[in-house]
Structure 1
């Protein structure tokens, strides 16, 4: 799921080519087929299938063999009827000595054209309607095959997108999303990226440049990444710091480190940690490396008792050496409303008083997808967002890193007791 013209179809085409030929590179760690395969490749229309995935796989019309599939591996092909240059089926030489088959299709002829066949792979280039996606998925059941979708989410939070990034039962098990933004596309210079983004209508920029769908009834933080993203800086010794945790098990436990410039009233998110199905021992081992002196904010569920040990969750982290604060995360008046915390973060973002290190990829992934549905915040993949909110709420407990003082040698004639007192 990526922006426009960033290379997603090239990525999809090269993966399809190595599966069809069996010519896997040494570094490939994904799924492999040792025998010939059958697959379908499709775009929105016959013309778009010809001009995009077919072109990447075979090369330009009249120059087949210049694409991702080597010329020596293209055994034969049959042309489709009605659309000049569109291939119906191509036969591909597999390293095993057999022949793989790739058929080119489109969404425009409807779900019925997607029935019947048993396949190893389906590659959708651009987002398919849900009924066609499900039919494609069904074609791979018997082979335990894979379905790939390479697309820019211009249709927003559609039923198909929800299969991958939806909340609750909408997200299908076994799915994975790789997100690519224009900042990951190194074939563009910074100046070119800025010009490309500026050329899009404002309401389409997130989708076309970052692969972020229009989410539900709105993003929680409706501002651009660029306004809060900064390259890492050296944190001055006089800045206060605080850590914050969001507990989880089947969803990740998340931790953030916040550094606070009191003079500018500006918060910097400098470190993140996110890991699921791990005990406090594992999490604490990572988090203590940020400084055993660092105070840690934590939410109300830290008061819950572990069913096994009977010990409070926050106490378990304290036992592992984290400097847990004496109370759960609240505002100074004792309240802890989610919306109040969100508004505090948003106000800081909009006024330039909350910045995030550009290296924190997982934090920005959550930031892009953090959204509302029917006006309510969707509590899925929000672990780092929640941890950041707890840290902002408890900012009053942030403190500076202790300075280690080296004892000086007592001057001649001074008593040892007097030197120790100093």
Structure 2
């Protein structure tokens, strides 16, 4: 950011270069964090408070600072900094905080923004608007530095999964103008090994990955406080004799219709999540076409009990529409939420639940699935997690292998009757 403000780039610099003075913002959570951290990083201690020899210098050397405007009513805080640019002009650097709200970020054209910790999603979107290309100038750049302790926030999720893309951005890739780098303790040559060891004893395993390796996934208040490495495995070919089942959660927009596909190694009682599906704004018939290709034509499925509500089509039930489209073996899941969450967590902690590492959407939801201040799991971006709960609560008992699939049974008069999960001890009816 200092290079962009001054136009002083080293010869080896291959990134973007501004050949003119720029307007830049530096953003933080609160005015206090800006004063005590970001301000120090950029301009150091305010002039006049200490002698030049004792002052802490920021990244912007005093020789390139034209002027510093203090923030009114906040002793020691800086509002605006003017910086010499090598072209002969002057760049401006303005400090702002998220607590000012979205309106404080409107109606401006900015060349560069440094956001320390990910901004709220409404401010993030506003920043993208401020950086748009206008008046013949190229689009601006947004830099975000964050230790993702609060899980996969909506801002990080939108960054890693742009709505216009079908794939997740991986570290080092440049996709649609976006890229990211993870920096961990091992990237810092000044951290001593004994300090790292002491830190590792301080934090729980699920928080340690975020602090030590910068993994934008695990944080405080997670529903499943388990290390991601403990529940993932590389994909492998599922034996034909392993029972299979899928969980189905109904949606439209903004919530997708979601499904998870699972295989149960009954010999070792390990449940493997092998496939995922999440698509918005399709009818049950269109979803069924996609799900049938994934095995829903022979696998039993357990669905969101809310799916029994009436649809807009002549009062028919959503479940009926899926069954008419060919997904016959559907039964209602047990929707006891807290019990389901504890059963899933118990399997995770016991090594009895594994998720294929290729299921990026599922792992994204796992990373951001958190409880609110009252301990209630947050809604939104939890549909695959709901499918997982349905499978654990209701799917294992009805799972079937491909070599031994469920069949419709014939009722009185020879009519085909839809499959429903039998009651315990009632298997002979099938």
Q: 1:272 aligns with which of 263, 270, 276?
A: 276
Q: Map 1:301-312 onto structure 2 (within 5 A).
A: 301-312=306-317
Q: Deviations over 1:136-168 (max 9, x none)?
A: 8599399898884613246748xxx97748xxx
1:78–1:87 CA contact under 8 A, matched in 2:
no
Counting only pairs closer than 5 Å after superposition, residues 46-85 of structure 1 correspond to structure 2 as 46-49=39-42, 79-81=65-67
Checking the alignment, whether the CA contact within 8 Å between 2:263 and 2:273 is kept in structure 1 is yes
Length, aligned pairs only: 321
Aligned to 1:380: 380
Deviations 1:283-342 (A, max 9, x none): 2222112222111111212212211342211111122222332x3112xxxxx3111111
CA distance in 2, matches of 1:384, 1:364: 9
How far 1:264 moved relative to its partner? 0.5
Per the alignment, in what secondary structure is the counterpart of residue 347 of structure 1?
helix
Q: Which residue of 2 aligns with 1:150?
A: 144
Residue equivalent to 2:160: 178
Unaligned runs of 5+ in 2: 1-12, 28-33, 45-58, 69-79, 162-167, 174-180, 188-192, 406-430
Between the aligned partners of 2:185 and 2:218, the Cα distance in structure 1 is 24
Q: Deviations over 1:365-399 (max 9, x none)?
A: 10011111111111211000001111122211100
C-alpha distance in structure 1 between counterparts of 2:310 and 2:14, whole Å: 51
Q: Which moved more, 1:283-292 or 1:202-211?
A: 202-211
Q: Which has the higher contact order (CA 8 A, sep 6+)?
A: 1
SS in 1 for 2:320: helix
Output one character per residue of 1:108-147: Cα deviation in whole Å (capped at 9) or x when no partner.
9x97xx88982245522312888xx69x859939989888
* Post-superposition offset of 1:277: 1.5
* Post-superposition offset of 1:281: 2.7
Partner residue, 1:313: 318
Q: In 1, are the aligned partners of 2:67 and 2:83 still within 8 Å (CA)? A: no
**8 A contact 1:49–1:106 mirrored in 2:** no
Matches of 2:146 and 2:96, distance apart in 1: 16
Query: Paired residue for 1:402?
Result: 403
Distance in 1 (alpha carbons) for counterparts of 2:324 and 2:142: 45
State which of 77, 84, 93 in structure 2 corresponds to 1:104: 93
Which contiguous aligned blocks of 4+ residues in structure 1 show a shift greater than 3 angstroms?
Answer: 36-39, 77-82, 86-93, 99-108, 114-117, 136-149, 153-157, 161-165, 183-193, 195-201, 212-215
CA RMSD of aligned residues (A): 4.9
SS in 1 for 2:275: strand
Cα distance change, pair 277–148 in 1 and its aligned pair in 2 (3 A): farther
TM-score if structure 2 supplies the norm length? 0.60
- Structure 1 regions of 5+ residues with no counterpart? 1-12, 22-35, 52-59, 63-76, 94-98, 166-174, 331-335, 405-422
Q: Tell me which residue corresponds to 2:289.
A: 285
Decide which of 256, 259, 267 is 1:255's aligned counterpart.
259
Deviations for 1:14-43, whole angstroms, at most 9, x for unmatched residues? Answer: 98x37x67xxxxxxxxxxxxxx99641426
